[in-house]
Amino acid sequence: MHEWALAESVIKSAVEHASTEKLKKLKETGVVFGELQAIDTEIFVFALEELRKQFAGAKDCKFKIIKQPAVFRCKACSHEFPLKGLRKTKDEAEFIHFVPEMAHTFLKCPKCKSPDFEIAAGRGVSISYIKGDR
Amino acid sequence: MNIDPRPSVIDERLKKVKRIIAVTGWKGGIGKSVTACTLALLLAKKGFKTGLFDLDFAGASDHVILGAKGLFPKEEKGLEPPVFEGVKFMSVVFFSENKAVPLRGANVSDAIIELLAITQWGELDFLVLDMPPGINDAALDVMRFARKAEVLAVTTPSVLAHDVLARSLKLYQSLKAPVLGVVENMSGGGKPKNAAAAIKFDPGLEKALGRPEALLKTAFASGLGRALKALGLPGPA
């Protein structure tokens, strides 16, 4: 249930953004799930529904989940590679789930085996858009 | 639009923490982590609800100093740090299987923000932060997000450590971070220069590492206890 903490950050950010942008009604928020963090959608959505009760500003907001594939770029050999095909144990996958940067400890560039790569896309949870009425 | 939602909940996570002490040092090997761990143990022994967060990702060593093995946070609306010797303890080693964590600066920042956002510290009197060495983006991020943090700087008698210290203290002033004071570690005796207190070099310290009970009985711990009083922090009875 560590998804709860991230769901709380999403709902709080959306409400704060609506207030900053003087939106009277928060209608829709795009929530990006980076493939690397492997967020459990069901738990996350459940947390959002529970948290909605504490955040009046998000009462009628629709949260649209957008899944983004992970892309890595090797700093040593410039090779670009996806998550699929990279070997990791169940424990390693769980550590990356909690802290995606642990990918640098457990994953390697499939071409040159360097752990010095950039997570170019699909790291974790972010907000891609917020719609509302002024 | 690309909003990072995590910083929005960091204040919430630290809301019930009364004081945050950021133990900082700007040179490696000056005793910053031993100071942070011993400080946390001393505070917990005095009955304060205490947390310890090892933020030195590249050289995490608090688990070795404490002898904390086989621990893992509990998943409960985030991560609840395990309690070791009365101290709520969080470290990147829980997630790295004690392997190297080869992170560039921006990645360290990202990982620190992630852990600050998901760690449920609950109610604490003191949260001791073992800071990343030097002033880099990770250290700057910690000071940005842990706004209540008070800096406890560790130095050594060496002119090299003092020179970096003077520059770094000016930087903390410009960041408007309150500085509790400077502790001179590995002192040869005598009055410390530009420091509130000195802790004599303790040849017995190394043998006590990994054993909290023994660590608290060292001359180093006694020296730190006296230093805490000089800094206005609660020392041992």
Q: What is the pLDDT of residues B201-224, one digit of tens each?
A: 999 999 999 999 999 999 999 999
Sign of CA dihedral A17, A22, A23, A26: positive
Cβ B46 vs Cβ B220: under 8 Å: no
Interface probe for A, chosen from B3, B6, B115, B119 (most Cβ of A below 10 Å), is B3
Range in B44-48, B84-88, B160-164 the model is least confident about: B160-164
Cβ B117 vs Cβ B13: under 8 Å: yes
Q: Is the pLDDT reported for residue B237 higher than 80?
A: no
Contact A5 B5 (CB under 8 A): no
Per-residue pLDDT, averaged over B102-107, amounts to 87
**Which tens digit of pLDDT belongs to each residue from A72-118?**
999 999 999 999 989 899 999 999 999 999 999 999 999 999 999 99
How much is the mean pLDDT over chain A? 96
Q: For residues B225 and B191, which has the higher predicted lDDT (pLDDT)?
A: B225
Percent of chain B with pLDDT over 70: 99
How much is the mean pLDDT over chain B? 91
Of B1, B13, B110, the CB nearest to A101: B110
Per-residue pLDDT, averaged over A21-30, amounts to 95
Range in A83-87, B22-26, B32-36, B159-163 the model is least confident about: B159-163
Q: The whole model's pTM is what?
A: 0.94
Of B2, B3, B111, the CB nearest to A17: B3
Identify the pLDDT of residue B48.
97
CATH code at B6-230:
3.40.50.300
Q: Is the pLDDT reported for residue B42 higher than 70?
A: yes
Tell me which residue has tokens 């169940």.
A90
The answer, for B96 touching chain A at a CB cutoff of 8 Å, is: yes
Q: Strands of B150-155's sheet, edge to edge? A: B83-84, B87-91, B50-54, B124-130, B17-24, B150-155, B179-187, B197-200
CA distance A31 to chain B (A): 10
Highest mean pLDDT among B8-22, B136-150, B181-195: B8-22
Q: For residues B205 and B196, which has the higher predicted lDDT (pLDDT)?
A: B205
| Structural domains of chain A, ranges and CATH numbers in brackets | 3-133 (3.30.2320.80)
Residues of B in contact with A23 (CB under 8 A): none
Q: For residues B25 and A90, which has the higher predicted lDDT (pLDDT)?
A: A90
Interface probe for B, chosen from A28, A99, A108, A116 (most Cβ of B below 10 Å), is A99
Identify the pLDDT of residue B236.
66
The answer, for B70 touching chain A at a CB cutoff of 8 Å, is: no
Identify the pLDDT of residue B110.
93
Work out the angle between the directed axes of helices B137-145 and B105-118 (0-180°, nearest 10): 20
Cβ B133 vs Cβ B26: under 8 Å: yes
Structure tokens at A102: 């642990």
Point out which residues pair with B168 in neighbouring strands.
none
Residues of B in contact with A76 (CB under 8 A): none
Q: Is the pLDDT reported for residue B193 higher than 80?
A: no
Identify the pLDDT of residue B139.
81
Per-residue pLDDT, averaged over B158-166, amounts to 82
Q: For residues A92 and B236, which has the higher predicted lDDT (pLDDT)?
A: A92
Range in A53-57, A125-129, B19-23, B195-199 the model is least confident about: B195-199
Please report, to the nearest 10 degrees, the dihedral formed by the alpha carbons of residues A67, B90, B15, B230 taken in order.
-150
**Which tens digit of pLDDT belongs to each residue from B45-64?**
999 999 999 998 888 999 99
